[in-house]
Amino acid sequence: MVSELLKLTGHLAILLLIPPIFLGIIAKTKAFFAGRKGPPLLQVYYDLFKLFCKGGVDSRSASFMIRLAPGIVLSTLLMAGLLLPLLYEAPIHFRGDLILFAYLLALGRFFTILAALDVGSSFEGMGASREAAFSAFSELAFFMALVTLAVMTQSTSLSHIFQWGNTHPTFHPAVVLLFISFFLILLTENSRMPIDDPNTHLELTMIHEVMILDYSGPDLGLILYGATLKLFLFMALTASLLWPPTGLFGFQEIGYLLAKVAGIAVVIGVVESVKSRLRLSKIPQLLVANLVITTLALLITVLGGPI
Amino acid sequence: MFNKKAFLVDLFFISLCLLILSALLSFLSRKGTRHWGCGGVFAGSAIGLVFSVQALVQNLTLTKSFGILLPSLSLTFGIDALSAFFLVAIFGLSLLTSLYAWGYLENQDLLLPSLPFFPLLVASMAAVVTAQDGFLFLICWEMMSLTSFFLVVTEHKLREVRHAGWIYLVATHLATTFLIVFFVLLYKKTGSFLFDDWALLISIPPFLSGLLFFLALVGFGTKAGIFPFHVWLPHAHPAAPSYISALMSGVMIKTGIYGLLRALTFLGLPPLWWGGCLVGIGILSAVFGVLYALVQHDVKRLLAYHSVENIGIIMTGIGLGLIGIAEGNATITLLGLGGGLLHVWNHAIFKGLLFMGAGSVLHVTHTRMIEQLGGLLKKMPVTGVTFLMGAVAICGLPPLNGFISEFLIYSGLFRGAQSLSGLSLFLVVIGIVGIAFAGGLALACFTKVFGVVFLGEPRSCQKEKIHEVPLTMQIPLIVLSLLCLLGGIFPQFVWSSIARVLEVISPLPKAVLGHGDGVLGLLHPVVYACLIFLGLGIVVGLLGRLLYRGRTIRHAVTWDCGYAQPSPRMQYTASSFAQPIAVFFRVLFRPHLQFQKPGGIFPGPSSFAVQIADFAERIFFQPLFSQCDRIFGFIRKIQKGRVQNYLALIFMTLIVLLLWEVWFGI
């Protein structure tokens, strides 16, 4: 009982404290490639602290939706975090929890889009429209990848899917394909580089950043923290494909987790440094191509026999 | 001794009589049309609801015959779990609809003349799902089609309404033709019209059963609105008054699902291709329905397309159940059929809610075009919040009821992907990806509707003063949105009745179905997770508010790159919102553009309009009907408009049929 409580506390502590650092790692990587020094590693923490201490500015056009959304979005992400195994099995796990995981993310997206439409700005409407369209296309590959995982491991619970023990086939083609696919989904869902540019605020090019233009103060803080949490969840999920959680609980395992997620963060930084943003009309094509990758992975899993 | 069972059955007939009586009274009454019509439906549905809930809970199985008219024919009503399941939805939604109609029809004299058909529609729907012989079933089915037709053409002075009514009438009668053939074939096989005799049918040759399945699928599927026979829905639903749209979309199209399920009980063990067929059609309906919904600007037309989507999801569930039966996998059957059935109720709840919400918006603003609306949430908070609940539910998002039924279907599909192989595996994978894609598009669609109608600023200068609708129109919305929430966090209570329905429709032995508890084992954790999520949401929300304590909050104009005076016309429109997806699927949509460019030094008026014709209408029905027109054009020559000619033709046809019967015995 006590150890269960300890594990839950540990899991929650990881979800609440660690995610912002990885934005710092990505920023450092990009700065390295650009030959700059870059912001401090803990910059996002400073930003969060600053935002939480501020007051707010509300749009006169907005209704209560804009106030409601950050709380809902953050709680969907926290709940999704409770379903995802980080070091051992997740605090909440049951058969079919991967469906809940996917739909919680969709619920968060629903309210992000509505909050963007609430202020009646054409920029935010534009971002909302793109978010809605691209995530629908991204859903294709995401669910195909989930099916592949479910068939590969004969389980529909994230905790069981990533419980490989010593039998994990690291460089099995299906696993590698899934890793590529999840990496693309990670970039799409978190509005990273070839899909979206997280750095520009007022260009017509971006998706996620423009949806939150009218947020300020603590609400913006919640959204920023939510974005880091979402990035962390996806990075942990993607990294777990190649390097599953050990199933033990200890400082060493926490170190492993941080190392593998930091590895993915560095890869994201590299991708963002060497790739330019895709033309908007190309993005659905990329996402449908991702469906093809996952379909291949499924075919290999089904036809290739047991792993 | 007081016979409780008989009393219960009497309740049903009392409710039917009340409904018919109220139709008569509201027809005859000069001033009290609304009182008699809505009041009668309210009372009749309340009594009927008591009966049907009792029948479902007690698992009542009874039949009652009335021998009238012809010697060989008797009219048989009967109830079992399957009938009771649909009856609860019909009476429940009718009850709320009557309340809504009471407020909706106040001072709407143009909408009143069709009101007497409202109780008749409810009565005929109730009769359809309780009819236990083919003959009575067809009569009630026809009654249902005709009464709903008259309700659709309420505003018959408008050209588009007459057009919609015409399409509906043709579609529903073409479908009935298939059903007549279906029933006659079964009659020839058994020599009886009784459903009980048909259910005992054991050996049907595969060809005949396949043919029967096809007939039932087209006949009932047209009423349900499956692709490509859905073309009447997007015409009829916007044309009808909103309370009727809610009733038609919420429960009337479900009689098609009922009919299909009932037909499946006659046809024996389904081969694999039936399930495959249903899953394929289901996914096509789901994806096409939501894609077309996304590019609509008329909110009721959009909701009508969403009915196609949800019928698709229900069909996928049923198809998965049939695949499970064919493959001998009881768990998949339970999850598929159970999820499909649960979605029938859930869809009745949230689609009724959404249509009534759209009706309230129409009632207040006098427009269905979402491009002209905006910012209604501040002026109509109850309508707005309940509509939001409906939107979250229809997207299948947790923690509302739509998620639970989709979760069951997904679980079944995932289970199928893990245990099946070959064609079945292919089908379930298509099912998962299809439903997921439809879900993503539905999310885009409902954020569009809610965002454009209820959020932002009003788009056109609204002449009327916008106010919240009267209380009688709010109560149904509130009740339905609470049901959405309850269905999401307490679905276990519903599951026991669904398990009873499964015993009726699935040919699997009861022992196998005992695994229904396994489904409960699947439902419990997800429900607890939803509850934890709700708690977490409240805590995080409160904490977020706490951060603002003692801070100043300023109010300013929306940040739009420094414009001092943003105008509502700068807002993103619904068409722009849907544009990325519409462009990707332009091959499918084939949009018809009418674009008048502004030109010259002093630009004159310019305009831009997009029209998107339905794929099924364009590719399938228009060529079909124009071919028919060409081939059968010569028949027009005998159409002179004289009654005598028609009587003579009917007489001749009867004689030919008589001779045929004598010589060939049909």
- Judged against a pLDDT cut of 70, whether residue B527 lies above it is answered with yes
Q: Chain A, 147-206: which have a CB under 8 Å from a chain B CB?
A: 147, 150-151, 154, 156, 202
For helices B272-294 and B206-224, angle between their N-to-C axes, nearest 10 degrees: 20
- Helices then strands, counting H and E runs in chain B, come out as 27, 5
Lowest mean pLDDT across B250-254, B285-289, B521-525, B563-567: B563-567
Residue B303: band (very low, low, confident or very high) from pLDDT cuts 50, 70, 90: very high
Q: Where are the beta strands (DSSP E) in B189-301?
A: none
Asked whether residue B320 carries a pLDDT value surpassing 80, the answer given is yes
Nearest by CB to residue A121, choosing from B374, B553, B560, is B560
Q: Cα(A89)–Cα(A110) distance, rounded to whole angstroms?
A: 28
Between chains, do B456 and A137 touch, taking CB under 8 Å as contact?
no
Q: Which of B380, B405, B414, B449 to mutate to test the interface with A (most CBs of A within 10 A)?
A: B414
What is the spatial distance between Cα B369 and Cα B373, in angstroms, rounded to a whole number?
7
pLDDT, chain A, mean? 89
The complex scores an ipTM of: 0.95
Type of residue at B8: L
Q: At residue A203, does pLDDT exceed 80?
A: no
Q: How far is B428 from chain A (nearest CA, A)?
A: 10
pLDDT at residue number B65: 82
Answer with the residue of higher pLDDT: B34 or A230. A230
Which residue of chain B is at minimal alpha-carbon distance from A58?
B555
Nearest to B580 among A109, A129, A139 (CB): A129
> What is the pTM (predicted TM-score) of this model?
0.94
* pLDDT at res. B508: 64
Calpha distance B336→B432 (Å, rounded): 12
Within 231-250 of A, beta carbons closer than 8 Å to B belong to: none
Q: With CB atoms and an 8 Å threshold, state whether A150 touches B414.
A: yes
Question: Among the listed ranges A23-32, A80-89, B471-480, which one has the minimum average pLDDT value?
Answer: A80-89
CA nearest to A131, candidates A184, A76, A208? A208
Q: What is the signed CA dihedral for A83, A84, A85, A87, rounded to 10 degrees?
A: -110
Q: How many domains is chain A partitioned into structurally?
A: 1
Domain ranges, residue A199? 2-303
Chain A with chain B: Cβ pairs closer than 8 A:
261
Quote the pLDDT of residue B1.
44
Contact B443 A132 (CB under 8 A): yes
Query: Rounded to an integer, what distance in angstroms lies between the CA atom of residue A81 and that of residue B652?
Result: 76
**Who has greater pLDDT, B269 or B512?**
B269
- B638: pLDDT strictly greater than 90: no
Distances from the Cα of A251 to the Cα of A14, A89, A248, A258, B387, angstroms: 12, 16, 10, 11, 48
Assign B327 a pLDDT band (cuts: 50, 70, 90). confident
> From CA B561, how far away is CA B570, in angstroms rounded?
12
β-bridge partners, B553 = A56
What pLDDT is stored for residue B206 in this prediction?
A: 87
- The answer to whether A110 contacts B443, with C-beta atoms less than 8 Å apart, is yes
Helix (H, G, I), strand (E, B) or coil at A277: coil
In this complex, the residue of A61, A94, A136 whose CB is nearest that of residue B457 is A61
What is the tens place of the pLDDT at every residue in B455-481? 988 887 665 678 888 899 999 999 999
Domain ranges of chain B: 1-206+225-242, 269-544, 593-666
CB-nearest partner of B561 from A55, A202, A280: A202
Longest Cα–Cα distance in chain A: 60
Q: What is the pLDDT of residue B47?
A: 94
Q: How far is B3 from chain A (nearest CA, A)?
A: 46
Indicate yes or no: CB of B551 within 8 angstroms of CB of A60.
no
For the ranges B217-221, B288-292, B468-472, the lowest mean pLDDT is seen at B468-472
Q: What pLDDT does residue B517 have?
A: 63
- pLDDT classification of B135: cutoffs 50, 70, 90: confident
Question: Are A86 and A235 in contact, with CB atoms under 8 Å apart?
Answer: no
Q: CA B512 to CA B267: how far, in whole Å?
A: 20
State whether residue B515 is helix, strand or coil: coil
Among A148-157, A195-204, B343-352, B564-573, which stretch is predicted with the lowest mean pLDDT?
A195-204
Partners of residue B539 in chain A, C-beta under 8 Å: 75
Instruction: Please give, one letter per residue, the 3-state secondary structure of A168-191.
Output: CCCCCHHHHHHHHHHHHHHHHHCC
Q: Confidence band (pLDDT; 50, 70, 90) for A244?
A: confident
Contact B451 A113 (CB under 8 A): yes
pLDDT, tens digit (0-9, with 9 covering 90-100), for B47-56: 999 999 999 9
Is residue A1 over pLDDT 90?
no
pLDDT in tens, B62-85: 888 877 666 667 788 989 899 999
| Four-CA torsion B190, B194, B197, B198, nearest 10 degrees | 70
Would you place residue B666 in the very low, low, confident or very high pLDDT band (cuts 50, 70, 90)? Answer: low
Q: Is the pLDDT of residue B507 over 70?
A: no
Q: How far is CA B366 from CA B159, B449, B475, in A?
A: 18, 17, 21
Which among A60, A71, A151 is the nearest to B537, CB-wise?
Answer: A71
Contact A74, A222 (CB under 8 A): yes
Q: What is the pLDDT of residues A252-285, one digit of tens each?
A: 888 989 999 999 999 999 999 998 888 888 888 9
Contact B437 A140 (CB under 8 A): yes
Contacts of A221 in chain B (CB under 8 A): 547
* Mean pLDDT score, A43-48: 94
Q: Cβ separation of A218 and B403 shorter than 8 Å?
A: no
For every residue of B72-115, DSSP letters joined together read: T--EEEEE-HHHHHHHHHHHHHHHHHHHHHHHHTTT-GGGGGGT
A50 touches chain B (CB under 8 A): no
